[in-house]
């Protein structure tokens, strides 16, 4: 399961990805307020992403954070591994952090391992091929579709202007 840190990291980066390219860096307080993330928590996450080269930072009164790379090159799988560690639900199916358990009998026929490997592979297939930009496109598409299906608001009768009677009729 995604930790709160990974969820906040993705939300903060998605917020930065929605900003105009080449625009000014965004203050951490603004990101925290807009995305409803506790600021202290966010500071730690953004520092790490800055160290990892995902974000750039600028100091000073006009300072803040911005994406150091285009949003279509920042993959969700990479982000989650940086914050949470391996995607695998158990270490014996991890590609990046393989570890057997001490009571392991026959790894190749272990049913739990066979199922968890499928889970790991399915997650990696999706998350390693989905960028921040792809995620945003999906969200925009759903918002657009919802806006089209939403009925246009009809004013209640008391809010409508009374019709004027025609004095010549």
The residues of the shown chain that bind ligand SF4, judged by CB under 6 A, are 90, 92, 100-101, 104, 107, 110, 112-113
Select 52 or 107, whichever has its Cβ closest to ligand SF4: 107
Select 26 or 110, whichever has its Cβ closest to ligand SF4: 110
DSSP state of 131: B
CB of 43 to ligand SF4, least distance (A): 37
CB of 112 to ligand SF4, least distance (A): 4
Select 90 or 133, whichever has its Cβ closest to ligand SF4: 90
Beta bridge partners of 55: 67
| Coil, strand or helix at 30 | helix
CB of 96 to ligand SF4, least distance (A): 16
CB of 116 to ligand SF4, least distance (A): 7
Select 75 or 92, whichever has its Cβ closest to ligand SF4: 92
Cα separation, 28 vs 114, whole angstroms:
43
- Alpha helix stretches (DSSP H) within the chain: 4-17, 28-35, 39-51, 76-84, 111-127, 132-149
DSSP state of 62: T
State the Rg of the chain over Cα.
24
CB of 107 to ligand SF4, least distance (A): 4
Select 81 or 120, whichever has its Cβ closest to ligand SF4: 120
Q: Is the dihedral of CA 14, 18, 22, 28 positive or negative?
A: negative
Cα separation, 144 vs 24, whole angstroms:
28
């Amino acid at each position: 399961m995604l930790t709160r840190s990974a969820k906040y990291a993705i939300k903060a980066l998605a917020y930065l990805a929605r900003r105009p390219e080449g625009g000014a860096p965004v203050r951490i307080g603004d990101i925290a307020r807009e995305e409803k993330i506790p600021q202290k928590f966010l500071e730690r996450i953004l520092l790490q992403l800055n160290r990892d080269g995902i974000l750039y930072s600028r100091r000073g009164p006009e300072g803040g954070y911005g994406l150091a790379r285009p949003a279509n090159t920042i993959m969700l799988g990479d982000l989650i591994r940086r914050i949470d560690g391996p995607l695998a639900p158990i270490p014996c199916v991890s590609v990046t952090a393989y570890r057997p358990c001490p009571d392991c009998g026959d790894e190749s026929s272990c049913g739990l391992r066979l199922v968890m490997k499928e889970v790991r592979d399915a997650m990696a297939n999706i998350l390693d091929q989905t960028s921040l930009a792809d995620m945003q496109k999906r969200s925009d598409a759903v918002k657009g579709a919802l806006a089209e299906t939403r009925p246009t608001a009809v004013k209640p009768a008391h809010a409508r202007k009374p019709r004027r009677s025609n004095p010549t009729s």
